[in-house]
Amino acid sequence: MEIKLLSHELALVTGAASGIGRGIAAALAREGARVALCDIDVPAGEDAAAALRREGCDAVFMAADLAALDGVERLLKDDLARFGTPSILVHAASPRRMEADNILSVDTETWDRMLAVNVRSGFLLAREIARSMMNKSIRGRMLFTTSLHAESPRNLPHYSAAKAAQTMVVKELAKALGPHGIRVNAIAPGAVPGGGFDASGAGIERLIRCTSLRRLGTPEDIAGMAVALLVDRFSAYVTGTTVVVDGGMALHNWLEPAEL
């Protein structure tokens, strides 16, 4: 009999219609969790949930615009009230970043939306779910997807700033919620096609050569580590940290040649 690591768990995954968020949602569902997939992209989100149900998983879709001022409130009131208090929160939602949105061209609306989805909604969602976890004595787990660019600028100031702020939100949450048995961590993925990363542009081959494992990542690469960080059997004493899952990309010194 196959043992499921997350049987009887309820999980909410934002940004679950595509890319890394979808991969994490699928991994949690396949480990036995009942999963609510949340995204602004309704057709893709409904398709992701339906695909999991066809596998025999328990999955539902919840539409939400987390950039809206009342986005988190609506999600909590309209959908999570029926779903129940999650024991697992994964905040993977982030607006698609465009390489042209550099420090000289990014506009106010793009800046505000990036920080609203990554930072404001992530914090508010975590805070309100934590309150419910505490009221019900749930030893919860939370996971944010950040980025290598939380610490390394790449001329996408709104994206890097949002991920850096998100990293500190994780630390603040972990410090405050730890005494209540709630763990909070982050994953910093490397180059994973889909979602916000376009692998069709120039320079991809060089990027691969500058990655120690000589390949781009997949959502499944990130999802495996996500499961490990969300299962107490593997990470009961881990909180407030960011785990890098990048194939060795961050090891590269850009002033040196890629090959030995």
Return the bridge partners of 183, or none: 141
| Catalytic-role residue among 114, 159, 162, 247 | 159
Helix count and strand count (H, E) for the chain: 10, 7
Active site (annotated) includes residue 237: no
Which 3 state secondary structure label does DSSP give 13? strand
Phi, psi of 10, rounded to the nearest 5 degrees: -110, 130
Phi, psi of 26, rounded to the nearest 5 degrees: -65, -40
* Rounded CA separation 44/37 (Å): 10
DSSP 17-68: TSHHHHHHHHHHHHTT-EEEEEES-HHHHHHHHHHHHHTT--EEEEE--TTS
Q: What amino acid positions are annotated as catalytic residues?
A: 159
